[in-house]
Amino acid sequence: VCVCVLHFSECADLMTAGSRRCIVVSTLAEACFYADHGFDDIIYAYSLPFDKIERCAALSEKLDLFQVLLDHHDALQQLKRRPLKDGQLWHVWLKLDCGNGRAGVLHSEPEALSLARAIAGTEGVELTGIYAHCGNTYSCTGVEQIQAVAQDTTSCVLQFMEKLKAVGITCKSSIGSTPSCSHPVQDMSKLSEVHPGNYIFYDVQQSMIGSCSLEDVAVRVLTRVIGHCPQKDQLLIDCGWSAISLDGAGKLPTGYAIIEGHPDLKLSSMTQEHGRLEPISGHLDYSKYPLGTLLSLIPHHSCATAMMHPVYHVHSKGRLLGTWNPTRGW
Ligand SMILES: Cc1ncc(COP(=O)(O)O)c(C=O)c1O
């Protein structure tokens, strides 16, 4: 599972059913944080940054299984220049771009096979697996479109595995994103691993894509009415972009978030610590929103919102069960 959305060990504990094994992170700060909390078998699923080779080496030498990801020959050269102590191997995933268009070597390019062969053939380095992230499911709407992308990505990876097999290389295979793993296709069972992360919270974006329903979304930002602005027909709230992020910009009829229980309100603008709510139609009835009124916002993208807060309050059925403390940085 990808724990990059979460940054705290209690939740990653839930996601791994207490095993504290088999996690994916996107920053080294997360990798160190989880390693310090007893997690192992960690994939740092981010095209290897050269300034962080030494820290990656330290984690590789400390943990049972720390794995890095690369998509360029230069990165392989960097690993070659820093052999691990006592003959330990660098565990390397090759990042394949199967249409997502972010990082990765394009699956159809001869370069992809040549890089895989180079990794497998390098002393001190092991080709652990092929990693594709189908982030292009985020531009889908509905199960059919999600599954078409999931199928396409899976087929690309499985075909690539066949090419590897033909040259005598076997290793793991994986794809993953919350939309694809929420509606998996049969062929995904042929992969060694999948790596969703956002599903643990879900969010408005996922409900619009069709990964989940709005009732499945488990994260809220609570905010208070701190001002009435009748001249503009607006309410001022103590939630700006530093509390919920600008991720929802222009994507929702209700503005940057959904205001739970108030479908008639729109979070229309924000500065760093202030937000402005206005009615979608008609005029505000200020008697419904006295100063101090608590409102609950459902974020557009919980990963972005999660990054904004130093502590999480965990509720179940109206009861506070505890707090979770995230990690930060790179
Ligand atoms: C490389 C990688 N793997 C897995 C994930 C998890 O995907 P999702 O956020 O759709 O659950 C991400 C998220 O961005 C990612 O970048």
Structure confidence at residue 36 (pLDDT): 95
Which atom from ligand 1 is nearest to the alpha carbon of 135? 10
Structure confidence at residue 1 (pLDDT): 66
Confidence class for position 104, pLDDT limits 50, 70, 90: very high
Structure confidence at residue 277 (pLDDT): 98
Structure confidence at residue 175 (pLDDT): 97
Which atom from ligand 1 is nearest to the alpha carbon of 303? 9
The answer, yes or no, to whether residue 122 has pLDDT greater than 60, is yes
Structure confidence at residue 3 (pLDDT): 64
Q: Is 265 in the pocket of ligand 1 (CB under 6 A)?
A: no
Q: Is 301 in the pocket of ligand 1 (CB under 6 A)?
A: no
Edge-first strand order for the sheet with 234-237 is: 257-259, 294-299, 221-229, 234-237, 275-279, 265-270
The answer, yes or no, to whether residue 6 has pLDDT greater than 70, is no
Ligand 1 site-directed mutation target among 3, 133, 301, most atoms within 8 Å of CB: 133
Q: Is 140 in the pocket of ligand 1 (CB under 6 A)?
A: no
Instruction: Write down the mean pLDDT value for the chain.
Output: 95
List of domains in the chain: 9-200 (3.20.20.10), 215-324 (2.40.37.20)
Residue 177 CA, ligand 1 centroid: distance in Å: 5
Q: Is 178 in the pocket of ligand 1 (CB under 6 A)?
A: yes
The answer, yes or no, to whether residue 5 has pLDDT greater than 90, is no
pLDDT tens column, 270-287: 999 999 999 999 999 999
Structure confidence at residue 162 (pLDDT): 98
